[in-house]
Each structure stands twice: as C-alpha cells, then as structure tokens.
Amino acid sequence: MVRMSLIHEFVAVQKRGVATIPSSVRRRLRLDEPGAQLEILETEDGRFEIRGVLPVDADQAWFWTDRWQRMEREADADFAAGRSVQVDSVEALLAELDS
C-alpha cells in the first residue's frame, strides 16, 4: 500500500526526549488548545502514528457516546428538513406540546 504524505518534516529530539512539534503541525492537530494531548500508536508494520486529541471531562463524556452523537445527527437532519417549531414563550411551547 502506497501512502501519500501531506506533511513530511524532521524533528530533533533534545535532552530527556523533548521534541518541538512544528507550529504548522500543532495547528493542524489542534495542539495549541488547552489540555491537548497526543495519542501515539505503533502499527504492525513498525510505523508510528501521532494523533492530536482533546480529552473530554468525565461529566461531559455522555455527549460523545455513539448513541448520543447519532441522536444529534438525527436532530440536525430534522432541523435541516424543517421538522421543527419555533416558539416565543413558555406558554407557546406548552401549547405546541399539547397540540
């Protein structure tokens, strides 16, 4: 399998294993955001893959479950298709729910 490279750079490793990730890569991987982390994977063919990840707070993990994300996509599709109602007050909302 031939792999296309979007970025090809060399990074020097300093004392204690410190390496500076180029700013263009940090931006692409969103590593300039607070709490950003790197996920490092070794593949069976001996390659290493580095992915930028943003950790999710435990109290927000439910939002990122497959089930919830599926429901979010369904809600977005309903809204885009016009299957929604806009109300201006609590009374109007309650009347809409009762109808």
CA atoms within 13 A on the CB side of 63: 6
pTM above 0.95, yes or no: no
Tens-place pLDDT, residues 41-99 = 999 999 999 888 878 888 998 998 999 999 999 999 999 999 999 999 999 999 999 98
Tell me 13's DSSP state: B
Tens-place pLDDT, residues 16-50 = 999 998 888 888 888 888 788 889 999 999 999 98
Does the pLDDT at position 1 exceed 70? no
**What are 24's two structure tokens?**
């263009």
Does the pLDDT at position 2 exceed 70? no
**DSSP string for 34-89:** TT-EEEEEE-TTS-EEEEEE----GGGGGGGSHHHHHHHHHHHHHHHTT-----SS
